[in-house]
Structure 1
Amino acid sequence: MKEVPMAEPAPPPVQGEEEHPSLALANSTIAMPGGRTVDLLGTPAQANRWLTERGLAPVDVAMQEMCATQLRSLREQIRSLFASRAAGLPALPAAVAAINDAMTRVPTAPLLHWDEKTGPYRATPHPTTAIVDHALATLAADAADLLTGPDAERLTACGSPPCNRYLLRHGRRHWCSTRCGDRARAARAYARRTRPGTD
């Protein structure tokens, strides 16, 4: 699929993204009609902006590509878990391990270090890395909460191809947006009209 820059507006947030930032992360890559993809985390600056908008990083973090790559990697693992849950299939062990790794990577206290000249001291890890690790841990914990909590039964994939977003179903609605719902209804109407023997 051809990735396009964020020139066109992304679809509006889906049902559940406000309560679950992991759902917003899973939906930060958007399949558009015509085989195009919009990646809201495509560059370090975009990844930083995405985290900042959700209160997971300060504006001036100066995120590096390595950190943005970690965020995109976690997104793919969460998407894998959401797909497994929505389809009622077993999860990939690597996806479960990635979530657990992200949740346990953040130290709960300043770590002990030992300097040859001054001796022992305690310090937190590199600030940018600590910020990203904390954001990853928060997103992973939210995904685990979503998958094991009461909202898990409502988790579903948007029912309008080529859309690849996930949402928390509300009533009978299986689409992430009005645009996707209209597209699905139009496709069904077209299929009925063009079905052989409907003259």
Structure 2
Amino acid sequence: MKESVTEESAVPPAPGEEEHPCLALANSAVALPGGHVVDLLGSPAQANHWLTQRGLAPVDAGMRDMCASQLRSMREQIRSLLASRAEGLPGLPAAVAAVNDAMARVSTAPLLRWDERSGPCRVTPHPVTAILDHALAALASDAADLLTGPDAERLTACGSPPCNRYLLRHGRRHWCSTRCGDRARAARAYARRTRSGTA
């Protein structure tokens, strides 16, 4: 079951999200107890809000369904690469290609077009498409930096099921939030009590 909520009512940022927006993107669909999922990119307005909060789009960017869908697709590709890195497995070639494509897609100058009537001219892509392409390129570049930089050694999945978020571990802590840490400790205590009661 998916819930539509604002970022303010969702869980707090996981460690590392503020330094790496790609980590925040990967964590923008949060699995909660009871089978609930909070998707911060569930609608174009939510996607626009999420990008605006990170300085990647203006408030009035006018994201469309296609834009939100592309952002969610990038989220899944980055999640795949983070999971591979955290588990010490090879990254999926399709995910690597998607990140590279997003970085390469951004043009630094208006492109040359040749109109049959008026001849050569320089054109800029549609503004919303350009905003989204720049945002996707920034997120993809950040993912590449995270995966190849010193923080990659600290990348881990939250250790409190059913949470599906990633974080940068500090010391031994491997929970994305106090709530997840409390839930994991309570589960361990319950398991100890159950074992000692049956022994």
**1:9-41: CA deviations, max 9, x gaps?**
211001111110000000000001100000000
2:4 counterpart letter in structure 1: P
Task: Return the offset for 1:130.
Answer: 0.5
Offset of residue 109 of structure 1: 1.3
- Alignment partner, residue 98 of structure 2: 98
> 1:164-192, CA deviations, whole angstroms, 9 ceiling, x for partnerless residues?
00000001100000000000000001001
Give the match's secondary structure for 1:37: strand
Residue equivalent to 1:62: 62
User: How many angstroms apart in 1 are the aligned matches of 2:135 and 2:169?
Assistant: 26
Q: 1:197 offset after TM fit, Å?
A: 6.2
Question: What residue number does 1:72 align with?
Answer: 72
TM-score relative to the length of structure 1:
0.96
Q: TM-score, normalised by structure 2?
A: 0.96
Aligned residues: 198
> Unaligned 5+ residue runs, structure 2?
none
Aligned with 1:195: secondary structure?
helix
Q: Which residue of 1 aligns with 2:88?
A: 88
Tell me the secondary structure at the aligned position of residue 175 of structure 1. Answer: coil
Deviates more, 1:4-13 or 1:170-179: 4-13
CA distance in 2 between partners of 1:97 and 1:113 (Å):
27
Give aligned-pair identity as a percent: 79
Is 1:3 the counterpart of 2:32? The answer is: no
- Per-residue displacement from partner, 1:70-115 (whole Å, max 9, x unpaired)? 0000000000000010011111111101100111011121100112
Residue identity in the other structure for 1:49: H
Look up the SS of the partner of 1:152 in the other structure: helix
Structure 2 Cα separation of the partners of residues 151 and 189 of structure 1: 32
Q: Does 1:184 align with 2:178?
A: no
TM-superposed CA distance for 1:196, in Å, is 5.8
Q: Shift of the alpha carbon at 1:198?
A: 5.5
Structure 1 unaligned blocks of 5 or more: none
Partner of 1:99, secondary structure, is: helix
RMSD of aligned Cα (Å): 1.3
**Per-residue deviation at 1:117?**
2.1
**Residue 31 of structure 1 aligns with which residue?**
31
115-124 or 89-98, which deviates more: 115-124
The amino acid of 2:166's aligned partner reads Y
